[in-house]
Amino acid sequence: MTRYIIKRFAVMAALLLGVSILVFWLFTLMPGDYYSSNRSLTPEKKAELRALAGLDKPVIVRYFLWLGNMLHGNFGFSLVYKRPVADVLGPLMWNSFIVAFAAFVLTWIIAIIAGVLAATRQYSWFDKLVTILLFASLSIPSFFIGLMMIKIFAIDLHWLPAGGMTDTGSNSTGAAYVFEVMRHMVLPVAILTFLGAGSLTRYFRTGMLEVLRADYIRTARAKGLKERSVVFSHGLRNALLPAITLLAFELPGLFAGAIITETIFGWPGVGKLQLDSVFSRDYDVLMTITMLLAFLTVLGSFLADIMYAVADPRVRLIDSGRAS
């Protein structure tokens, strides 16, 4: 197992290196920069500022400078906020994380329960309802759902706030502050959960249907085991194996999907910052966020490989056989 983890870790490091080269190269191809879009600067001042920022150096030199600084925890300087990128991203990453983590947990809980119940009650009214909601989550745009939820729950019913992270002018602290933030989280988390649970439920439903038709399930039932034990102890464990691979896409997907959600609800997170940085051409911020999403993707793939090897020892045996 140790050899398997070391090998996967080496692959992860190589992938991140390749992604960093690709990301930096693509951003160098983008026309203009922060200074060129500022019409108040003269051409001489723009050239001077570009030189101070190191933008006049060759691309290969700039890449190794950027990579070296990034490995030392220096992610660049935000030209818009006039602060280091780490200082700009730090608080906003935490804001995005609490929403993404809550949506991630709810998505998997709902998807597992709905997928298992829909598979064990195939063609029932519950299965049909799950199918309708599944296609709705895949087809309805997130911005439309967000605006509808604001209209219903914030404007018409006055149950929840329309946006932001706290109330306007709020000075809450302690438990009152936590409760206030949780109230503002309800709508963004609900949208991300609804959008994510649909596709994930489909995987669990399909996987459970295939597993429940397997020979060992019929054997377990023939032995007189209770249906709950057959479904959850034998069926669900094997149906979870293909879903483990989805972890590689769930982590960055939540952050990437939060761009529209954070913009609609005015949630101060990484997604909204990324969108604002596109318009302002704050490339240091954009490259850092892009590398963060790439890191989450590779990390998710790494964790999925480890979890798959733990759940199915045959993966380790196959990998060891190829290595020998």
pLDDT in tens for each of the 324 residues of the chain? 677 678 878 888 888 899 899 988 888 887 777 777 667 777 777 777 777 777 778 888 888 888 888 888 888 888 888 888 888 888 888 888 888 888 888 988 898 888 888 888 888 888 888 888 888 887 888 788 888 888 899 888 888 888 888 887 778 788 888 888 888 888 888 888 888 887 788 888 888 888 888 888 888 888 887 877 788 777 777 777 777 777 666 766 666 656 777 788 888 888 778 888 888 888 888 888 888 888 888 887 777 777 777 666 665 555 554 554
Amino acid, single-letter form, for residue 308? Y
Rounded Cα gap, residues 126 and 308, in angstroms: 31
Amino acid, single-letter form, for residue 126? F
Which one, of 199, 197, 305, lies nearest residue 244 by Cα?
305
String of b and e for 119-129 (b: at least 16 CB within 10 Å)? bbeeeeeebee
Which one, of 149, 108, 146, 113, lies nearest residue 130 by Cα?
113
Cβ pair 126, 159 in contact under 8 A: no
Rounded Cα gap, residues 177 and 212, in angstroms: 47
Q: How far is CA 53 from CA 35, 40, 57, 145, in A?
A: 10, 18, 9, 42
What are 24's two structure tokens? 């930096």
Confidence (pLDDT) at 247: 67
Query: What residues contact residue 110 under an 8 Å CB cut-off, 6+ apart?
Result: 193, 197, 201
Confidence (pLDDT) at 165: 82
Confidence (pLDDT) at 315: 57
Amino acid, single-letter form, for residue 20? S
Rounded Cα gap, residues 266 and 227, in angstroms: 47
Query: What residues contact residue 175 under an 8 Å CB cut-off, 6+ apart?
Result: none
Confidence (pLDDT) at 236: 77
Q: How far is CA 119 from CA 133, 150, 171, 172, 238, in A?
A: 15, 34, 49, 46, 14
* Residue 57 DSSP SS3: coil
Rounded Cα gap, residues 51 and 140, in angstroms: 47
Confidence (pLDDT) at 314: 60
Torsion of CA 143, 147, 149, 155, to 10 degrees: 160
Domains of the chain in start order, with CATH, are 86-281 (1.10.3720.10)
Confidence (pLDDT) at 116: 86
Confidence (pLDDT) at 313: 61
